[in-house]
Structure 1
Amino acid sequence: MISVFGSANMDLVAYTATAPKRGETVTGRAFATIPGGKGANQAIAAARAGAEVAFIGAVGDDAFGPVMRETLASAGVDVTRLRVAPGSSGIAHIVVDDAGGNSIIVVPGANGTVTGPTDGDLEVIDRSDALLLQLELPMEAVVAAATRARVPVVLTPAPAGELPPELLAAVGLIIPNEHEAAAITGLSDPEESLKALLDLVPEAVVTLGSEGSLYGSRSGARLRVPAVPVTAVDTTAAGDTFAGALAVARAEGMPVERALRFAAAAAALSVQRKGATTSMPARPEIDAALRTTVTP
């Protein structure tokens, strides 16, 4: 089982040819309201990739809360530990351009009320094979979950920011993209930032978008795995899809290289579809894509 302690947001997505610059107004061509949030995204990605998943977090008592709960549940995620907080659910305002790029503003809402895992949450976490964390909950909550968990901790350090030493000490695997890795280490070269990350945590994967990913461990292992070449429609939640699928592959005991290719196949499928939770592939799709990209 995979536990995810994280955010649930309603994504308000505007599609436009070119994203507006500061002070500029542009005309969009479509709008969608799609359940998301980095925590919920990773939970759904992991569930669709074949894992039993429990989600721990909060939604508001507004109209969006029940929709997000049902979206998680319908994907097969256990929402027993998803609590309801007074006020607004988390919101993400997303602009997607015709090149598939995106810019995002996150308003925490109910996510901001989560200060740490309860004893009941910890009982669920400690029955898991891994705990997935992100940084859309308050940092104190993320640190509390990481330091109190008795299972391997996987961190996606997004949104990028300063990471407390006690959090890093509890993380077994960190999965930043190249920009987040640079923000953490101060090094713009992904190879160099990977080396610096391994001074902080035992294992790291730096995702490079269309350039694939870099893996390293303190044991000296190094891998570069190419991305699956596709035409991106919407890159929203591609990183969350990668992280969720990678956690499943690792929990199943796949060798590192195959696990990375499994995650890359899942991410490639997701960017060919619009939205966050609406774009994530099911296990048969990932397995089929993997067979076409990996020689047995």
Structure 2
Amino acid sequence: MSVKCGAFFQKGDILKKVLVISFIFNFILLFVFVTLLALRSNIHHKSLKEGSDTHAGRLVNNFLEMDTGIKLTEDSVCVSCDELGDSVEAKETLYQFIMKTKCGARFCCYKDKDLKAFISKILELPGQRSTTGNMANLQQNFHWWSNRSNAAHLFLNHTSSPPQWTASNIPGFSFSNLPITENRLQIQREGIYYVYAAFSLNLSKCGPGIPQMYHNITSQHPLLKNTGPELHFMNKYGGFARSGKTRHTSFLSGILHLRRGFEVATQISTSSFLDQTKYSNFFGLFALNI
């Protein structure tokens, strides 16, 4: 065998060894990748299980984080306030302190155990029920809310058709110091009022297109029926193709000068897609100068 042939076979053996080593190395990488993928899947399922155990929220950096964006500590209620910027101090706001998380998010906090218990009760957090006390104590702590004159806060009763505003379905949270006539709040004393209303929509069962819906706040006098209700605020939603978002809330509010005897109402053009969970639809007002 010539020297050239020997060199050729020697190079062939080297290439064969390189190919074998490359194959083994890639096999090891594939095994590591599959293992990491399996571990990631297990961690993901575990986090989902832990998340479901906290019902409405999850514990993050000692905060109970809800889908609403509200954060609860042991005795505080915090809301995200990144929009205020880094230069704003707590004394320039209505909050008691501002804190910053490790990831850089800013939270404005109000230290009030009663307020925290109130929110926990509304969100029905399983782990918080023992700290909220009974309903009587909670109502007593917030007696100022329902004892205001010329005020009301109503929730929607879905057992009637169409749904009716009521102050009796959720005692302690809903109330009315004003007469309710045909789904309208009747003003007892002339004044300046803050009026607000919210409708929450669940569009998960909606077709490929979202129908156009109108939400408004109106007022009228029962003795002036021929004039019709006066439109004060209006919001329009829908009339486009459905996207990935299945929930929407329409909120209207404003300040009105209302005379005695006038009736204030809020309506949505269709009730087919209304979210029927607690506290998701509400309507209220209160006097500002009385």
* TM-score w.r.t. length of structure 1: 0.29
**In terms of Rg, which structure is larger?**
2
* TM-score w.r.t. length of structure 2: 0.30
Question: Which structure has greater helix proportion?
Answer: 1
